[in-house]
């Protein structure tokens, strides 16, 4: 998977996401999300559907009538966290037998039998394309029946729904532009849990961005497993059935990016995740053209070795990736760049691991999301390759990658000292109410004295010092 974890505020990754509301006479919903930002975004859709049916939300699962966990299946430890949490909810259900517990999202299809029948942890299992069916499924569960819908759709984008913004800062928000994935990377379970890729009507995306700006939001992130492959024809036809003429007249990602940027010059635009094989110079030139499109790209490499990339079915070589990096540095010289890296993939040799380290030295990422390979059921790698790298070797290689990235992150952060950065204020600093925090265009956190500034303001900050990951300065 093109990991979407990177676009969650790192301090919140894996935490619950809730919304508290005033008490009403309706049923109460407790909703908790884990994993990638797509899951958090989907939870906002779920909340919208159920609030429209008279539900209110609560932060206390012990008082909830319905408890949902939106799940992640990308790595084994994520699944274990969810399983542990379901055991907590099982104890609540013992006290309140009428409570309904459900699993949503990526774990639903794969583990439906275990959850419903073998372990009896839940009453409802719902896949990411079936959220509109939740009111009916809740009724079934309340009648004592096991309720399940994990059917994947080739059409569903939830484009007509207005998400309920859960647990956010009121400044930054996420807009889903595609669902599913067609890339079939050999290590990734996403195509099996989220289905085929489909793009959302651009007019609904632009309207959602406009509405968010009117509500006071000042930054949107366009979300998709692979945003660069976004393509919308007037009739919403699939890319594989479009003629060359239809493709030429369709709206691609660069054009969508421009449409959103034109909503308002004070609305910052970010996007994630990009795929190296699909990122075009047209996208880069669009970024360079508009000041409010942030100079930041998350470009997962996964490995620095061409043979391993071929085994991963990534669709590009080491050289192709480096050429894409060269294009980014040429067209957007001050672009912040982050990545995903997997260590210890099937049959990876020591020399191939060194290729990853050497690529990291060449690129010098601002930050990275780094993991040991974790075999996932149903993937091509699980069926065709042997997970033959010893755990201690995986860990040692991961440690080397992490140590190198920490060095590079410190160098990249230090290079920003002495410069003036335009910062969008997201709220108070975690360490002091007298300090504010926000991010610059390159997605680096900047901290500065509060003075008279407030959340949602743009502030020019001269950076005077830094930690390895945070810039510290004063407003000018």
Angstrom distance (rounded) from CA 132 to CA 207: 21
Take residue 374 and report the two structure tokens written for it. 């974790």
Helix (H, G, I), strand (E, B) or coil at 138: helix
Find the CATH number of the domain harbouring 339.
3.80.30.20
Domain assignment of residue 167, yes or no = no
162 assigned to some structural domain:
no
**In whole angstroms, what is the distance from residue 287 CA to residue 296 CA?**
9
Which tens digits make up the pLDDT trace of 191-225? 888 889 999 999 999 999 999 999 999 999 999 99
Average pLDDT over residues 273-301: 97
Q: 66-75, 267-276, 390-399: lowest mean pLDDT where?
A: 66-75
360 and 462 fall within a common domain = no
Question: Which CATH number goes with the domain that contains 102?
Answer: 3.40.50.2300
Q: Assess whether 184 and 329 both reside in one domain.
A: yes
Give the single-character DSSP code of 115.
I
Q: What is the pLDDT of residues 421-463, one digit of tens each?
A: 999 999 999 889 999 999 999 999 999 999 999 999 999 999 9
Point out which residues pair with 30 in neighbouring strands. 67
- Establish if 109 belongs to a structural domain: yes
For residue 117, the model assigns a pLDDT of 67
The whole-number pLDDT of residue 76 equals 64
Residues 378 and 241 in one domain: yes
Q: What is the DSSP letter of 116?
A: I
Residues 444 and 315 in one domain: no
Q: Which range has the worst mean pLDDT, 83-97, 294-308, 333-347?
A: 83-97
Q: How many structural domains does the chain have?
A: 3
pTM of the predicted structure, to 2 decimals: 0.87
Q: Based on the fold, state whether residues 250 and 372 are members of the same structural domain.
A: yes
Tell whether 176 is covered by a domain. Answer: yes
Model confidence at 11, pLDDT cuts 50, 70, 90, reads very low
Are 134 and 218 contained in the same domain? Answer: no
281 and 220 in a common domain: yes
**Greatest alpha-carbon span in the chain:** 65
* 8 A C-beta contact, residue 215 and residue 187: no
Q: What percent of the chain has pLDDT over 90?
A: 66
User: Do residue 136 and residue 52 come from a single domain?
Assistant: yes
> Same structural domain for residues 129 and 111?
yes
In this structure, of 18-22, 54-58, 245-249, the range with the lowest mean pLDDT score is 18-22
**135 and 177 housed in the same domain:** no
Q: Is residue 25 over pLDDT 60?
A: no
Q: What is the pLDDT of residues 228-276, one digit of tens each?
A: 999 998 765 556 566 666 666 799 999 999 999 999 999 999 999 999 9
* 4 has a pLDDT exceeding 50: no
Asked if 186 and 334 sit in the same domain, the reply is yes
For residue 166, tell me if it sits in a domain: no
Specify the pLDDT at position 74.
67
**Same domain as 322, residue 192:** yes
Looking at residues 24-49, what average pLDDT do you find? 84
List, for residues 146-190, the tens digit of each pLDDT value: 899 988 888 899 998 888 887 778 999 999 999 999 999 999 988
Q: Does the pLDDT of residue 8 top 60, yes or no? A: no
- Tell me, what CATH number does 424's domain have? 2.40.50.140
Whether 186 contacts 379, CB under 8 Å: yes
**Residue 395 lies in domain:** 172-414
* Average pLDDT along the chain: 89
pLDDT value of position 50: 93
């Amino acid at each position: 998977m093109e990991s979407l974890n990177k676009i969650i505020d790192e301090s919140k990754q894996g935490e619950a996401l809730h919304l508290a509301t005033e008490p009403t006479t309706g049923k109460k919903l407790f909703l908790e999300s884990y994993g990638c930002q797509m899951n958090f975004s989907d939870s906002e859709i779920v909340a919208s559907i159920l609030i429209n049916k008279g539900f209110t939300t609560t932060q206390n699962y012990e008082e909830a009538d319905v408890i949902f966990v939106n799940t992640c299946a990308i790595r084994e430890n994520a699944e274990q966290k969810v399983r542990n949490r379901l055991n907590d909810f099982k104890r609540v259900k013992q006290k309140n037998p009428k409570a309904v517990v459900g699993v949503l999202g990526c774990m639903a299809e794969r583990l439906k039998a275990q959850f419903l029948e073998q372990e009896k942890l839940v009453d409802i299992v719902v896949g990411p394309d079936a959220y509109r069916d939740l009111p009916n499924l809740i009724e079934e569960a309340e009648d004592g029946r096991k309720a399940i819908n994990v059917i994947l759709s080739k059409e569903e984008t939830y484009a007509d729904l207005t998400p309920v913004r859960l647990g956010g800062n009121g400044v930054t928000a996420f807009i889903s532009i595609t669902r599913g994935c067609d890339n079939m990377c050999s290590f990734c379970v996403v195509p099996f849990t989220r289905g085929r890729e489909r793009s959302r009507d651009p007019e609904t995306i632009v309207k959602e961005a406009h509405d968010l700006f009117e509500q006071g939001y000042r930054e949107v992130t366009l979300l998709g497993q692979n945003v660069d492959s976004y393509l919308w024809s007037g009739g919403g036809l699939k890319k594989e059935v479009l003629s060359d003429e239809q493709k030429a007249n369709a709206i691609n990602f660069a054009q969508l990016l421009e449409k959103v940027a034109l909503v308002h010059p004070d609305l910052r635009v970010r996007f994630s995740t990009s795929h190296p094989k699909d990122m075009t110079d047209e996208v880069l030139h669009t970024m360079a053209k508009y000041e409010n499109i942030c100079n930041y790209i998350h470009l997962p490499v996964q490995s620095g070795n061409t043979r391993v990339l071929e085994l991963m079915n990534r669709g590009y070589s080491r050289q192709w990736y480096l050429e894409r990096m060269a294009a980014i540095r040429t067209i957007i010289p001050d672009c912040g760049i982050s990545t995903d890296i997997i260590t210890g993939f099937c049959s990876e040799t020591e020399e191939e691991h060194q290729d990853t380290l050497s690529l990291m030295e060449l690129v010098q990422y601002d930050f990275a999301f780094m993991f040991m390979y974790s075999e996932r059921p149903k993937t091509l790698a699980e069926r065709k390759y042997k997970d033959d790298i010893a755990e201690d070797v995986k860990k040692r290689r991961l440690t080397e990658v992490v140590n190198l990235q920490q060095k590079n992150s410190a160098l990249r952060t230090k290079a920003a000292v002495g410069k003036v950065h335009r910062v969008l204020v997201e709220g108070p600093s975690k360490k002091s109410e007298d300090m504010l925090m926000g991010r610059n265009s390159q997605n680096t956190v900047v901290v500065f004295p509060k003075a008279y500034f407030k959340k949602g303001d743009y502030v020019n900050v001269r950076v005077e010092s830094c930690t390895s990951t945070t810039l510290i300065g004063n407003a000018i």
